[in-house]
């Protein structure tokens, strides 16, 4: 069935270190993979996304890599800062006809310690 698995569920790093969150998806037809950051009590905010025609995308301290053969993708945050602390969700778009719906992972709670 449609499933996205996300690991780890919690991640604690020191300020300045890197953080990596990994996701695996089940639908081989998925071709769009966004990442959202959700702070406590706030809306999920899109931080980066990647489409299947590229293997890597970078935006300042954030990068995402995609391995379609293995059906997994990862979020990399470098030089972490306390304001990076939040819950991060990966998602994969599941195609049905011409439409897509997002299937989310369970989330990773990232804590950046000063």
Q: Give the residues lining the site for another protein (CB under 8 A).
A: 4, 6, 30-32, 34, 36, 42-46, 49, 51, 89, 91, 93-107
Peptide bond into 84 cis (omega under 30): no
Sequential DSSP letters for 78-97: -S--GGG-EEEEEEEEEEET
CB of 99 to another protein, least distance (A): 5
Give the count of beta carbons closer than 10 Å to the beta carbon of residue 60. Answer: 9
d(CA 7, CA 35): 13
Residue 49 or 78 with smaller CB distance to another protein: 49
> Which residue number, 18 or 96, has a Cβ lying nearer to another protein?
96
Q: Which two tokens mark 97? A: 């006809």
Place of tokens 């950046």: 112
Q: Which is nearer to another protein, 17 or 59 (CB)?
A: 59
Query: Which residue number, 80 or 93, has a Cβ lying nearer to another protein?
Result: 93
At closest approach, how far in Å is the CB of 103 from another protein?
A: 7
To another protein, the closest distance from the beta carbon of 30 in angstroms equals 8
């Amino acid at each position: 069935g449609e499933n996205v698995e996300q690991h780890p569920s919690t991640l604690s790093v020191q300020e300045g270190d890197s953080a990596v969150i990994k996701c695996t998806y089940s639908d081989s037809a998925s071709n769009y993979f966004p990442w959202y950051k959700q702070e406590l009590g706030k809306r999920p905010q899109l931080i980066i996304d990647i489409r299947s025609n590229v293997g890597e995308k970078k935006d300042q301290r954030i990068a995402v890599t995609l391995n379609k053969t293995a059906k997994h993708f990862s979020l990399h945050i470098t030089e972490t800062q306390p304001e990076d602390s939040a819950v991060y969700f990966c998602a994969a778009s599941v195609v049905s006809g011409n439409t897509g719906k997002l299937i989310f992972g369970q989330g990773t709670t990232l804590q950046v310690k000063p």
